[in-house]
Amino acid sequence: MESPLIRKLRQFIPLTPGEKAALGRIGGHVQPARPNDVLLDQGRGTGVAVLLHSGWAIRHRTLRDGRRQIIDFVLPGDLCDPSCYFQRQADCAVSAITDGTYSLVRASEILDLIAASPRLGAFFWWLDAQEGQYLRAHLVAVGRLTAYERIAYLVWELWTRLRAVGLVEQNTFLLPANQALIADATGLSHVHVSRTLSRMAREKLLRRLDRRYQILDPARFRQIAQVEDITVSRRLPEAVAARLKRY
Amino acid sequence: MESPLIRKLRQFIPLTPGEKAALGRIGGHVQPARPNDVLLDQGRGTGVAVLLHSGWAIRHRTLRDGRRQIIDFVLPGDLCDPSCYFQRQADCAVSAITDGTYSLVRASEILDLIAASPRLGAFFWWLDAQEGQYLRAHLVAVGRLTAYERIAYLVWELWTRLRAVGLVEQNTFLLPANQALIADATGLSHVHVSRTLSRMAREKLLRRLDRRYQILDPARFRQIAQVEDITVSRRLPEAVAARLKRY
DNA sequence: ACGCCGCATTAACCTGGGTTATCAGGGCTA
DNA sequence: TAGCCCTGATAACCCAGGTTAATGCGGCGT
C-alpha cells in the first residue's frame, strides 16, 4: 500500500528513490477511526500531525460553553496540519466524521525529512500554504458573506477540492456531514442551514439526496459564492473606492 | 541599519555570518509608504512578499460590492506573507494604514535562502505557521463569538503581539486604525464597533484616548475574549529548536 | 476666520438569522 | 411491531447587530 503522501507529492514532482523511501517510512501504524473519534486533541502538546488515509475528518475548536467552529474539512489523503510541528500544543482538535483510517506523524519525522531534502521541506510548506489560502477565503466568507453566499462558498470549496482528488462525478459528491456540522463550519445555526439549503433546492441551484450534493448550475454558484473575489482576485473597481469613501 | 529579519530570527537561534549576510541581502530597496498605499495588490501574480520595516499595514480582501474583510494586521518587522511564494497570485492585498517603510521580497530570494540553509527554511515556515495560528483564532472569533467578545479578542491579540515587539507600555498601545477598519477586521459594522467600544469603556475594561488603548483589566479581557479556548502558546517548542540547531 | 473632511457617537428603525419547539421520516435494536 | 435515536423540515417568535441619518468635533488648508 502506497503512502498517501507519495501519491500526493508525485503529482507535482518526480521523487527520487531515496525520497520515496523516506516518505514511505512516515505515517506507519495505520489506525481505524470511527465517526466522532478524536484523532488529535485540542491543547495537547504532542507535536503530531494527522495523515488521513481514508474517510473524512474535521479540524475544529470548541469553546467551553459548547460553541464550536470548524476550521476546515480534512479529506482523504490530507496531511493535517504539517505546521503543527512548530507549535507546543495543537490549537485545534481533529475528529473523524466518518469511518476511515489514519496515522499520526511526529514532528521529528517531518523535520528530519526537511533536513534531508530541502525541496521536500518546501513542498510541505507549500501544502501548508494552500491550506492557508483556503483558511483566508473561509475567513472572508464567515466575516463578510450572507448565509446564502456562505453556504454556496462552502459547497463550492468542497466541490473544488474533491474534484482535485477525483471524488466528483457529474457535479455530484458526497458530503458526509449533517447540517449541524455545516452550521459549525459556516458560523450559522443548523436551522438556518436547513432553510438555506432548502432555498437553494427551490431555486434549482442544488439537488440533494441524503448527503449527496449535486451542483446544478456551477456558474451561478461561483457567482453567488463570490468565488472570483474570494479565491483568486481582481483589481479594485471604482464602485468599491466610492463605497470606501463613505466610511 | 540591520534588517528586521535578522533582528527577528536571531531572537531564536544564533545566526552564522553566512546566514546573516544572506538575510541582509534580502529586503533591500526600502520604500516609504503612506496611509492607504497599496503595497501589494490582490490578484497580482507577482510572487512577492512585503517586509514591513516600520509602520502598520493590513492584509485584506475586498469584494466587488465593497464589502471587505481584513485578514490580519501587519506590524513593524513582520514579513507578510512568506507563503505567498507558493501562489501564482496574491490572494490578499496589503495596504499601509500609517506612514512607514517597507520592501518587497521576491520569491526567488527566499527560495534560494531555503535551499542554502534548511534551517532558515524551517524558520520561515515557522513564522508562517504562527500566522496560521492567529488566522485560525481569528476565524473562531468571527465565526462563533459575539461582537463584544470578538472585539475583546482583537484588542487582546494586538496587545499580545505588540508586547512581543516592545510596543506596549502600562498596558497601553497605539492602534492606528479607525473604527471602520476595526469593523472590517471583526466582521461587524462600524456603528456597532463604536457601540461596543463605548460599552467597554463604560464597564471599565478599556480606556481610549484618540487611538491609544489601555487595557484596564487584562484578566477579565482574557476571559471575555475566551482566549484560553482560542489560542495557545506561540513559542517555538524546545524540541524543535534543539533539532534546528543541529542542521 | 471659514469651510471642509474624516471620524466618532448616538438614535431610530429594521432584518437576517438565532432560538425553541414540534413533527415526520428512516434506520437500528429487540 | 414497538421503541429509540438521529436527522431534517418548518413554524413562531425574538434579538443582536445592521442601516440610515443626524450631530458634533477637531484638524487642516487657504
Domain count, chain B: 2
Rounded CA gap, A116 and A19, in Å? Answer: 9
Q: How many Cβ contacts (< 8 angstroms) between chains A and B? A: 207
Residue B202 lies in a domain: yes
Name the domain boundary from B118, B136, B163.
Answer: B118
A165 three-state secondary structure: coil
Q: Which residue is nearest to nucleotide C26 (CA to C1')?
A: A210
Name the domain boundary from B98, B118, B138.
Answer: B118
Q: What is the pLDDT of residue A7?
A: 84
Q: Are residues A95 and A15 located together in one domain of the fold?
A: yes
Residue A59 lies in a domain: yes
Q: What is the pLDDT of residue B95?
A: 95
Q: What is the pLDDT of residue B238?
A: 54
Chain A residues with CB under 8 Å of B97 CB are: none
Q: Are residues A114 and A32 located together in one domain of the fold?
A: yes
Residue A38 lies in a domain: yes
Q: What is the pLDDT of residue B46?
A: 67
Q: Are residues A157 and A99 located together in one domain of the fold?
A: no
Q: Are residues A211 and A155 located together in one domain of the fold?
A: yes
pLDDT average, residue stretch B104-126? 79
Residue A53 is classified by DSSP as: E
Q: Are residues B155 and B114 located together in one domain of the fold?
A: no
Q: Provide the positions of strand D that have an atom within 7 A of a protein CB.
A: 6-12, 16-21
| CB-CB contact of B109 with B24 (8 Å) | no
pTM of the model: 0.91
Residue A131 lies in a domain: no
Q: Which range of residues forms the domain containing residue B36?
A: 4-118
State percent of chain B over pLDDT 70. Answer: 87
Q: Which residue from B152, B138, B145, B137 is spatially nearest to B196, judged by alpha carbons? A: B152
- Higher-confidence position of A47 and A211: A211
Q: How many angstroms separate the CA of A58 from the C1' of D23?
A: 50
Q: Are residues A109 and A165 located together in one domain of the fold?
A: no
Q: Are residues A27 and A84 located together in one domain of the fold?
A: yes
Q: What is the pLDDT of residue B233?
A: 52
| CB-CB contact of A46 with B211 (8 Å) | no
Contact at CB, A88 and B237, closer than 8 angstroms: yes
How close A76 comes to chain B (CA, Å)? 21
Confidence of residue A22 (pLDDT cuts 50, 70, 90): confident
Residue B72 lies in a domain: yes
Q: Are residues B214 and B108 located together in one domain of the fold?
A: no
**Residue A176: which CATH number?**
1.10.10.10
Q: What is the pLDDT of residue B241?
A: 56
DSSP structure string for B61-98: EE-TTS-EEEEEEE-TT-EE-GGGGG-SS-SSEEEESS
Q: How many angstroms separate the CA of A245 from the C1' of C3?
A: 19
Residue A247 lies in a domain: no
Q: What is the pLDDT of residue B12?
A: 75
Which of B115, B180, B232 lies at the smallest CB-CB distance from A89? B232
Q: Is the pLDDT of residue A215 over 50?
A: yes
- Higher-confidence position of A1 and A244: A1
Which of B118, B135, B178 lies at the smallest CB-CB distance from A115? B118
Q: Which residue of B has its CA nearest to A225?
A: B63
Chain A residues with CB under 8 Å of B111 CB are: 122
**Residue B64: which CATH number?**
2.60.120.10
Task: Report CA-CA distances (Å) from A97 to A76, A101, A181, B38.
Answer: 12, 11, 9, 42
Q: Are residues B91 and B161 located together in one domain of the fold?
A: no
Q: Is the CB of B188 under 7 A from strand D?
A: yes
Cell of A132: 492557508
Q: Is the CB of B108 under 7 A from strand C?
A: no
Residue B140 lies in a domain: no
Rounded CA gap, B3 and B1, in Å? Answer: 6
Q: Is the CB of A192 under 7 A from strand C?
A: yes
Q: Are residues B65 and B23 located together in one domain of the fold?
A: yes
Q: How many angstroms separate the CA of A182 from the C1' of D26?
A: 48
Point out the least confidently predicted range of A8-17, B26-35, B100-109, B140-149.
Answer: A8-17
Q: What is the pLDDT of residue A244?
A: 31
Burial of A165 (0-12, 13-18, 19+ CB in 10 A): middle
What HEC string does A84-138 produce? HHHCCCCCCEEEECCCEEEEEEEHHHHHHHHHHCHHHHHHHHHHHHHHHHHHHHH
**Residue from A233, A235, A240, A246 whose CB has the most chain B CBs within 10 Å, to mutate:** A233
- Higher-confidence position of A38 and B117: A38
Residue B127 lies in a domain: no
Q: Is the pLDDT of residue B47 over 70?
A: yes
Q: Are residues B17 and B107 located together in one domain of the fold?
A: yes
Q: Are residues A21 and A89 located together in one domain of the fold?
A: yes
